[in-house]
Amino acid sequence: MKKFYFILSLLLVLPKVASAHVKWFVDSQSVIENGHGMSAFYGWGSKEVLIWSGVVFAVVFIFSRLDKALKTPKGLLSFGLKHEKGINRIAQVVLGVFLITVSLVWKVILIPEFPINSFLTNILGYIEVLFGLMFIFNIKPRVASLGLGVLCLGLIAQVGFVAFLENALLFSLAVYFFVVNSKESSKAFRLHKHAVEIVRIATGVSLVTLAFTEKLLYPELSMNFLEVHHWNFMQSVFPWFSDKLFVLSTGFAEMIFGILFILGYITRITTVLIAIFFGFSVTTMLMQFGEWEVEDLVVYVAAVLFVFYGHGRTKFFHFTRPKTNPLVANSSNRS
């Protein structure tokens, strides 16, 4: 019976991918230097890891079957294609708000590991605000996209390639808005039919990377977060559900969502699920601790696109070419 409750609780905690991006709320470098390997965590051959591995395969398989069975909501897609410019503008504004907020409120260049603490970074901070304003007011958005892309690539030199992968979604949005704001006669516009897919795959890459860097490989980061922010709601239902198990569960849950985005399985439903729980996460953090998870704005930029356009026109990680949606094929407004 205990095993039954254990498995059931794992399934219930699955959506807890909405747990905060903990590097925004802990001193990650200090925590890793002082706490990595100091306390025991689950081995890769442990019962808990094996059970979660089975859950991952089962959920991905079920979603792959559902993806073939469920029909595309033609009304929603038709609306999205008809109002593509307006939808892109909304998403673009949200991205601009993110860039302004991280610079003026959080005092960082894109991520906490890149703080504004010198003359050069202050200049970059003002440039970041400028890019945000350009996105919001639709002033040369292609230039703003190029600038954002350069800032994202700068993370590799400043923080490392892993940090870039954690924020691959942000870089993909720079690519997306550069492409959709390009002229149809330009070379960049050739990527138009792949634009949504680029964002979708990058979203998955970010989630899978964060699952490892904040939970599975460096659990001390999330454990430190839970010591301050008591978010292990599972203990109120199952007292034996430790913080350590909670961190493992959220890591695998994040991995599941990442894989689903990469493969493009029922992207709209996946997006709605993750948006709901991210919204719950933001509200909880704001009400309980007076802190705003501004990094979630980037997720909502992608969510706007996925809700209307689903997985996009293409699915790269498929052995068979997906059937072309007639609404997309016959429309001059691609993606």
- Closest of 95, 91, 123, 93 to residue 109, by C-alpha: 123
**The two structure tokens encoding residue 177:** 């808005």
Residue bearing tokens 């909304």: 90
The pLDDT value recorded for residue 221 is 86
- Closest of 96, 7, 101 to residue 55, by C-alpha: 7
CA–CA gap between residue 263 and residue 316 (Å, rounded): 8
**Contact (CB, 8 A) for 210 and 21:** yes
The pLDDT value recorded for residue 331 is 42
- Give the other-Cβ count within 10 Å of 290's Cβ: 7
Grouping H, G, I as helix, E, B as strand and the rest as coil, residue 242 is: coil
The pLDDT value recorded for residue 148 is 98
pLDDT in tens, the chain (335 residues): 444 444 434 443 443 433 456 776 677 777 777 776 667 788 888 999 999 999 999 999 999 999 989 888 888 889 998 999 999 999 999 999 999 999 999 999 999 899 999 999 999 999 999 999 999 999 999 999 999 999 999 999 999 999 999 999 999 999 999 999 999 999 999 999 999 999 999 999 999 999 999 899 888 888 888 887 777 777 777 788 888 888 899 899 999 999 999 999 999 998 988 877 777 767 766 766 666 667 778 989 999 999 999 999 877 766 444 444 444 444 433 33
